[in-house]
Amino acid sequence: AGHTTLIAGGTVVNAEGFVRADVLVRGERIVGIGVEQAWDADETIDATGKYILPGGIDVHTHLEYPIDGFTTRTADDFATGSVAAAFGGTTTFIDFVKKRPDASLFDTFVERRSIAESKSIVDFGLHAIVPPLVQQPDVHDDLVRLFTEQGVSSWKFFMAYPGTQMVEDDELLAGMDLALKLGAFPMVHAENGHMVNRAAQQLLDEGKTAEIHHVDAHGHSQEAEAVHRAIVLAAEVGTPLYVVHVSSEQAAAEIAAARSEGLPVWGETCPQYLVTALEDYQELGERAAGYICSPPIRERANQAALWKYLGADGLSTLATDHAAFCMEQPEDLPPQKLRSPGYFPKTPNGVPGLEDRMMVAWEAGVVGGALDLCRFVEITAARPAKLFGMYPNKGTISVGADADIVVWDPEADHTITAAGGHSRTDYNLYEGMRVSGLPVTVMSRGRTLILDRELQEVARTTRGRYLARGAAQLF
């Protein structure tokens, strides 16, 4: 039973290899992969000359996400964010739950899950952000419940932002101990928050308050020190570790060195660190606010090493850290990027990229020669699915897997623009970039959300699902 769709004439690409084959979908799942089968389907999608890729997985997004002590929030909600994701070929994202000051972590999760369920057109998961004082009984008990009852199998620790989110080493160790005991996967935002604050204060004391000085406060050593320390602490505890948004060559080198010693450590990087550089915004004055994120977008000379590590599995995943803010202030949103022009400490941190990730990685990576086809699928879908407990339902075109499928045109001519995108933000870091790889048709658990670049009615009438996830699969 179930509606059947045949995706015919394309080349199926997985992390392990690629082959010319048709794909048969019944209901929510892939039920056949083969050539010259006498398959008869309710509907046929012609994929001649196209690649058939597992739906992209972005394990690092911040949709309708409160920041700066809940004084503002990111511009995309789960509706606009998930539509942007789908148009970019991403059919699964994992966002975060940050404890509200006036509610428990568990209750904050329940509320956020239900908001996302009511709006997201694609499947999604939620990581827990572990608040400081992880040893407090309520936080401890909520983490255990989130893991066991809700499949929140990955927990993020902030080594930055002292006074609000930062965990000290004792708290990080306690959190890692608990993660190890349960089988949860610890993630770290690795920047030494004390070093960042000290450097920022020195800059302010010297009157260096302009946007561009954000990058000076967030040095390479701030990041590399925290990455090194997180690796040592994780090894001491005996837990695997995931380092989000690695931006610095030195930080990436720490991860690559740990991996070459056989330690279960993985690093994520993001398109903005691979393709965008300090040189792109250092002359923009207040408008440099659009490029401010933490860790910062660094000098162009830093990029080659990130590409090298990403190609050779020193870095293993590509996510966006999509935390989109608008440059022009919309009436219905709290203060956005230009809330405090000329004063970098108050600029909301974060950049957009959810819709652009796959296209940018294709153009700069696959066409650019740093990634082959299989590696592209590995970093954008397969490895994220494995590490975050979703494989093989997600991250592979295989019989029995969820029918999360992207028909990818490798001979497109598309220009990335903010105006042509689906995020609520009003600018794009890749404005004007011409890309030859484009997701044309996008299926999420058997629902064709986008057909030939057109959003379908089913995207308006149905929703994606919350994914209760399992333990990290380390191989």
Which residues sit at the interface with ligand URP, rule CB under 6 A?
A: 62, 189, 293-294, 321, 323, 349-350
Q: Please identify, using beta-carbon distances, which residue of 198 and 300 lies nearer to Zn ion.
A: 198
> What's the closest the beta carbon of residue 127 comes to Zn ion, in angstroms?
10
- Looking only at the bridges linking them, the beta strands covering 241-243 and 405-409 are unpaired
- Cβ proximity to ligand URP, 66 vs 470, nearer residue: 66
Closer residue to ligand URP (CB): 294 or 396: 294
Q: Is residue 347 packed enough to be buried (19+ CB in 10 Å), middle (13-18) or exposed (0-12)?
A: buried
Q: Which residue's beta carbon is nearest to the bound ligand URP?
A: 349
Out of 99, 189, 386, 447, which residue is the one contacting Zn ion (CB under 5 A)? 189
272 closest CA partner among 242, 298, 252: 298
The contact pattern for Zn ion, residues 161-180, with x = CB under 5 A and - = no contact, is -------x------------
Question: 53 in helix, strand or coil?
Answer: strand
| Token pair for 412 | 């497109």
CB of 193 to Zn ion, least distance (A): 8
**Helix or strand (DSSP H, E) at 11:** strand 11-14
In the complex, least distance from residue 189 CB atom to Zn ion, rounded to whole angstroms: 4
User: How many Å apart are CA 284 and CA 286, to the nearest integer?
Assistant: 6
CB 220 within 8 A of CB 251: yes
The CB-of-294 to ligand URP minimum distance in angstroms stands at 4
Contact mark string toward Zn ion, 325..354, x via CB under 5 A: ------------------------------
Interacting span for Zn ion (CB under 5 A) from 70-78, 171-179, 182-190, 251-259: 182-190
Residue 299 C-beta: closest distance to ligand URP, Å: 18
* Residue 177 neighbours by CB under 8 Å, 6+ apart: 237
Six-digit token pair at 47?
């994929």
Least Å distance between CB 166 and Zn ion? 8
For residue 329, which of 425, 216, 465 has the smallest C-alpha distance?
A: 425
Q: By CB under 5 A, tell whether 156 contacts Zn ion.
A: no
Q: Interface with Zn ion includes 95 (CB under 5 A)?
A: no
Residue of 28, 211, 321, 404 that binds Zn ion (CB under 5 A): 321
The sign of the CA dihedral 212, 217, 220, 223 is negative
Cα 254 to its chain centre, rounded Å, is: 21
Closest CB to Zn ion among residues 10, 350: 350
Residue 350's binding partner out of ligand URP, Zn ion, none, with CB under 5 to 8 Å set by partner kind: ligand URP
Residue nearest to Zn ion (CB): 189
Q: Smallest gap, in angstroms, from Cβ of residue 409 to ligand URP?
A: 31
Cβ(307)–Cβ(370) under 8 Å? yes
The radius of gyration of the chain from alpha carbons, rounded to an integer in Å, stands at 21
From residue 115 to residue 154, the character string flagging contacts with Zn ion as x (rule: CB under 5 A) and all else as - is: ----------------------------------------
**Segment interacting with Zn ion (CB under 5 A) among 9-17, 187-195, 262-270, 438-446:** 187-195
Nearer to ligand URP, 196 or 323 (CB): 323
Interior angle at CA 376, CA 373 and CA 377, nearest 5: 95
> What does 359 bind: Zn ion, ligand URP, none (CB cut-off 5 to 8 Å by kind)?
none
User: How near is the Cβ of 75 to ligand URP at its closest, in Å?
Assistant: 13
Shortest Å, Cβ 305 to ligand URP: 20
Q: State the virtual CA torsion across 207, 211, 216, 220 in degrees, nearest 10.
A: 160
> Which of these ranges, 97-105, 138-146, 315-323, 372-380, lies near Zn ion under the rule CB under 5 A?
315-323
CA quadruple 422, 424, 428, 432: dihedral positive or negative? Answer: positive
* Residue 351 per-residue DSSP state: B
CA dihedral 73, 466, 181, 315 (to 10 degrees): -70
Instruction: Check: CB of residue 290 under 8 Å from CB of residue 351.
Output: yes
Closest distance between Zn ion and the C-beta of residue 172, in Å? 10
CB of 414 to Zn ion, least distance (A): 27
Give the nearer residue to ligand URP in terms of CB position, either 4 or 90.
90
**Among ligand URP, Zn ion, none, residue 459 binds (CB under 5-8 Å by kind):** none
DSSP string, 176-231: HHHHHHHT-EEEEE---HHHHHHHHHHHHHTT--SGGGHHHHS-HHHHHHHHHHHH
